[in-house]
């Protein structure tokens, strides 16, 4: 199966089967060559939970081909029908050239129409309904080679949807079409084109001006891309090449909150989205949102929100059926 096909491969699995798979992985570690273990681990990471009654399945989309450390993947395609609710570990742009449909980001519905550009982050849940549209899709991660002008828009996008005026659409289409042409051969040029697109979006009326220091911009990006793992202040400081003490002081100075509080805000917000807009079992949501164990997550969630994760799921579903 090609990687591009794997990205849309769904597998229904229960927690018990997943546990068995992990045990099997442990047993195979002493038998199989490392290349087969890597393939098996990659398969495990693609597993998702699917409601037996036909509810929404959530898929974690992995990096297509070499989307790692700033490498870009881009394609022009026609999409029709529906897409399952999914989350991914990279940033994504979807620019609608023609057609129509509905794009749901974190449960909020946006119209797909010519000139609509969707900017999606690793913290978003995303799905498409009733679509019949021609689009350009760009997927990328941010590393040290990424141009600074693009960082503010990626750190804290003011919106998931930007509806370009007709006069601006030819330029955006030209930038993304050129990116399609060069992204496999000239990464530096592709980055520049992407940065130009980000700067264009920054001038739209609802794009609030937010210009934290470059170090903090890169910290936001690192947290957004890695909040599901056990990242720490020390990890992030090392990624930036700063001492932990200096980075901690800088972070508080620029954001008004400490690193742990900011990380928790990202994780709890994502957990609430998963509880509201997906059918991932409540007992496993904590893992998708970056929390270590369910008991601790449930206790802290109730303290923050006022109700348990199960009650929050039930309340959200009731509101959606009203």
Q: Is pLDDT of 94 > 80?
A: yes
What's the confidence (pLDDT) of residue 201?
82
Q: In this structure, what token pair is assigned to residue 241?
A: 């090449």
**Cα distance between residue 139 and residue 205, in whole Å:** 25
| pLDDT, tens digit (0-9, with 9 covering 90-100), for 7-51 | 333 333 444 444 444 445 444 444 544 444 444 444 444 343 333
pLDDT at 122 over 80: yes
Residues 288, 293, 296, CA angle at the centre, nearest 5°?
115
Helix (H), strand (E) at residue 322: none
CB atoms within 10 A of CB 126: 22
Domain ranges of the chain: 3-47, 72-202, 212-322
What pTM was estimated for this model as a whole? 0.55
Tell me if 248 sits within 8 A of 219, measured CB to CB. no
CATH class of 72-202: mainly beta
Residue among 42, 44, 47, 141 nearest 89 (CA)? 141
Q: Which of 27-36, 63-72, 195-204 has the highest mean pLDDT?
A: 195-204
pLDDT recorded at residue 156: 64
Residue 188 confidence (pLDDT):
83
3-state DSSP call for residue 103? strand
Average the pLDDT over 240-252 and give the result.
89
| pLDDT band (50, 70, 90) for residue 311 | very high
Task: Looking at the structure, give the CATH architecture of the domain made up of residues 212-322.
Answer: Orthogonal Bundle (1.10)
Q: Which of 229, 259, 257 is nearest to 244 (CA)?
A: 259
* CB-based contacts of 171, cutoff 8 Å, min separation 6: 200
Q: Lowest mean pLDDT: which of 26-40, 199-213, 258-272, 294-308?
A: 26-40
Each residue's pLDDT tens digit, 156-177: 666 788 889 899 999 999 999 9
């Amino acid at each position: 199966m090609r990687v591009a096909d794997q990205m849309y491969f769904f597998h229904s699995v229960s927690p018990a089967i997943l546990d068995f798979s992990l045990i099997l992985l442990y047993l195979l570690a002493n038998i199989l060559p490392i290349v087969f273990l890597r393939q098996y681990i990659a398969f495990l990471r693609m597993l998702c939970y699917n409601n037996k009654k036909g509810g929404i399945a959530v898929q974690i989309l992995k990096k297509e081909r070499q989307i790692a450390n700033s490498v870009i993947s881009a394609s022009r395609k026609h999409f029709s029908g529906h897409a399952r609710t999914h989350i991914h570990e990279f940033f994504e742009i979807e620019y609608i050239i023609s057609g129509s449909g509905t794009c749901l980001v974190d449960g909020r519905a946006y119209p797909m129409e010519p000139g609509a550009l969707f900017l999606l982050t690793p913290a978003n849940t995303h799905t498409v309904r009733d679509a019949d549209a021609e689009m350009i899709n760009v997927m990328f991660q941010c590393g040290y080679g990424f141009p600074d002008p693009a960082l503010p828009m990626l750190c804290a996008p003011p919106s998931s949807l930007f509806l370009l005026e007709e006069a601006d659409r030819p330029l955006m289409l030209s930038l993304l079409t050129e990116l399609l042409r060069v992204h496999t051969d000239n990464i530096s040029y592709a980055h520049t084109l992407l940065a130009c697109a980000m700067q264009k979006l920054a001038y739209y009326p609802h794009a609030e001006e937010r210009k934290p220091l470059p170090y903090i911009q890169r910290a936001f990006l690192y947290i957004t891309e890695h909040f599901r793992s056990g990242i720490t202040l020390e990890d992030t400081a090392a990624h930036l090449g700063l001492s932990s003490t200096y980075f901690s002081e800088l972070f508080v100075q620029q954001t008004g909150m400490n690193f742990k509080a900011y990380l928790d805000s990202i994780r709890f917000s994502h957990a609430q989205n998963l509880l509201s807009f997906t059918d991932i079992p409540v007992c496993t949501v904590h893992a998708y949102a970056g929390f270590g164990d369910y008991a601790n997550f449930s206790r802290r969630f109730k303290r923050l929100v006022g109700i348990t994760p199960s009650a929050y799921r039930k309340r959200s579903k009731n509101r959606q059926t009203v």
